Amino acid sequence: MPAFTALVRKPGLNFPRALSEHPGKDDIDLAIALSQHEGYVEALAQAGGKVEFLPSQDHLADATFVEDTAVILQDKILLCPMKETSRQEEVRSTATTLKKFGSCVSLDAPATLDGGDVMDTPDTIFVGLSKRTNLRALQALAKLTPKKIAPVAVTKGLHLKSATTFLGNNLLVIDPTRVDASNLKQFDWIEVSEEDSYAANCLALGNIVLMPAGFQNISAKIRAHGMETLELEMSEFEKADGGVTCLSLIIPTH
């Protein structure tokens, strides 16, 4: 794995009030979430990352989901114009730290974008058109990168990466019932069923894949492609509509 820094933020005191449509959202246990977050941080370090903690934001319920606040591009960092008013302060908080890693840019209204809707691959950046991300953001992003930008309609769930993530080597983990996958046919698929859909969000760090625990079938398929899996307890973050990629911003260090 090339060297990387992972920016993370511990769940704050208000985390149990995170925005969520999950049926278990009222049962979020902060103590368990903090323990699970520690396991996540340990896995990032095991994968070779330098982990840097962003300052806690107890009043911002969703602030642990740092991925949504920015998109790391080749030569700049895009600060996301988030649609949810309650989350916009998170971006300003994250930006303070991100500025030391590179030049930060932002998009003007009416563009709205969450980082969880951006799936970067070697040649193309796929952008989910979702409840949180609109076409104007996709068009603006196209001016910031030499890569091709391709839309993917999110038909069910919160973000594009709730339904599919890129593992490298032309390989996706995907639940095709949650997105319009017509722009993703060129990839090899590890297809997950509806009952295993939560496993569609994984974080590939070189040859190591961080994934939620409890999906032995999906883990075996990933390992069959020559990768190593680190399975993490994610129950409290799942209740908050968050996944493995949501909890960090991965910044390659050159």
**CATH classification at residue 35:** 3.75.10.10
Question: By three-state DSSP, how is residue 148 classified?
Answer: strand
Residue 76 is classified by DSSP as -
Q: Which two tokens stand for residue 42?
A: 């340990």
Give dist(CA 5, CA 43) in Å, integer: 13
| Domain span at 32 | 4-252
Give this prediction's pTM: 0.95
User: What is residue 254's predicted lDDT score, i.e. its pLDDT?
Assistant: 63
H-helix or E-strand containing 216?
helix 216-224
The total domain count for the chain is 1
- Cα separation, 80 vs 72, whole angstroms: 10
Looking at residue 26, its pLDDT comes to 87
pLDDT tens string for the chain (254 positions)?
568 999 999 999 999 999 888 888 889 999 999 999 999 999 999 999 999 999 999 999 999 999 999 999 999 999 999 999 889 999 998 999 999 999 999 998 899 999 999 999 999 999 999 999 999 999 999 999 999 999 999 999 889 999 999 999 999 999 999 999 999 999 999 999 999 999 999 999 999 999 999 999 999 999 999 999 999 999 999 999 999 999 999 999 86
User: CA neighbours within 13 Å on the CB side: how many for 53?
Assistant: 11
